[in-house]
Every structure is written in C-alpha cells, then in structure tokens.
Chains A and B, each alone.
Chain A
C-alpha cells in the first residue's frame, strides 16, 4: 500500500539522474555492503593469523592479507563508483579465488597449507574456493563483474552517464 508510492521517487528526484542508473546504483549498494563485510572478515582473519602464527604458513597468510587489501580497495572502488579500479580489483579476486582455490586442493604444500579444513588454523579466505566463507569469495566477483557489465551496457545505451564518459 504505502510501500509502493514511497520507493523510487525520492531516489531519482534527489539527484535528477536517470532512473535506470539510480536503480542500478541501488543494487550496487548491496554489493558494496557484502564486499565490506567480506573485507572485514578477510582482513581480520589474516591480521590475526599473521600476528599469532606467521611462521606456520607465511605464503598462505600473505595471500590472505593481500586478498583482504584487495577486498577493501574493491569495496571503496564500488562505493565511490571508480569503475576501472573496481574492474581490476574484482578481476584479481576472481583469478585469486580460482588459482588459490585450485592450488589449495591440488597442491596444498605449495601454499604451505597443512590441512584442507576451510576453518583450519592456516586456511585463507581463498582456500577451497572460499568454502570457509560459504563460497561467497567465489560468487561475489562474478556478481561484481556482471554488475559492472550491466552498468556499462546501460551507460552506453544512454550515452549520458558519467561512467560511460569516464
């Protein structure tokens, strides 16, 4: 009843931009929130692992920390609509989760991992394709790239959004 009338209007009225772009930006906000939580999770865990037991699996923990930093940059890039930076960081994430995920299962010794337990002492955010994080690290970059692609498509179709010019 009241829900229908007070949804879209304030959003588009507030800034006077194209409704399609605003709608796309809306979904993007959820993506930013999920990225922020994952950034917190990955960074928190890697910082703890590095302080507590860096010697046990230095390669894995440094990768974990790198992943955390990349998630932070991706969060900021998505939030601030820095398209190129978002594209680069999200692509690195996808490659990272696929490469590290595969290595963690096929050749765990290469990463200095002692077990395959996704919740284990030396597991990283990308181990076993992010199984310890409900596979969110695997799904999120795909959603992120689809979102960026959708925005670009919309942007060039309209030819007037800042993203299309930048």
Chain B
C-alpha cells in the first residue's frame, strides 16, 4: 500500500460520507451526485486492490497479516455496491444517509488496512 494514496482515499471517502449524510438529512433522495460519490469511492478501492497486488513485486511488502488485509479489502469492496444497490431499490432520503454511512465505513476500513500493511 502507498500511504499517500490511502490518505487521499480516506479524504475522498470522508467527503463522500459527509456529502451524502448532509444531503440525506436535507431530504434529498439518492441522485447522480450521491450515487456517483460512492462510485468514486469504489473505484479508489479497486485501485487500492491493484496497488496491493503489485506492491510486493516492487519490494513494498506488508508488515502485518496479509490474509487479514485482504479480509478487510474484500469486505470494503462489497460495501459501496451494496449501498448503491439499496439506494436504487429504496429511493428514499434515508438511502442517501445510508450511502454516507457506507462511505464513512470505507474511510475507517482504509485506515485499518494501512495500519495492517505498515504497523
């Protein structure tokens, strides 16, 4: 993992989380902006997966447990699609808040993944 990339990912996830939570509480139903924010979060997670797969070959080895790292990463990869799926089925303002909660969860998980990679 690259610390700088994780920092960027955490910032993006927090911004997405804040955006969705605020808009949801402001009674906005899921729209292109909020759903798109979660798509961005997911794309960054996929980039994180690619980085994690390539890094060891370039000499950047994880210090912590590799299986645990991937448990986190795979779980994280599932959360934004689940939240988006939910928002598409149940188009209420609370689904927008759920999108925000999912984004915040990704921010926390990204921090944990970085901690596992470099304790």
Interface residues of A (CB under 8 A from B): 3-4, 6-8, 10-11, 26-27, 29-30, 33-34, 36-37, 40-41, 44-45, 48, 52, 119, 134
Contact = CB atoms under 8 A, between A and B. Distances in A.
Contact of B93 (A26, A36, A41): A26
B80 to A, nearest CB: 11
Contact of B95 (A29, A45, A134): A29
Interface residues on B, range: 20 to 34
A26 B92 contact: yes
B contact patch SS: helix
**Which interface residue of A27, A30, A40 has the most chain B CB atoms within 10 A?**
A30
A44 B105 CA distance: 14
Given A3-B26, A6-B29, A37-B79, A26 B94 contact: yes
B98 interface: yes
Contacts of A52: 65, 67-68
B71 interface: yes
A30 B94 contact: yes
A30 B75 CA distance: 19
Contacts of B95: 29
Contacts of B79: 37, 40
A3 B75 contact: no
A11 B91 CA distance: 9
Given A7-B27, A37-B105, A44-B72, 12 more contacts: A6-B29, A7-B92, A29-B90, A29-B98, A33-B86, A33-B98, A33-B101, A34-B101, A40-B78, A48-B71, A52-B65, A119-B112
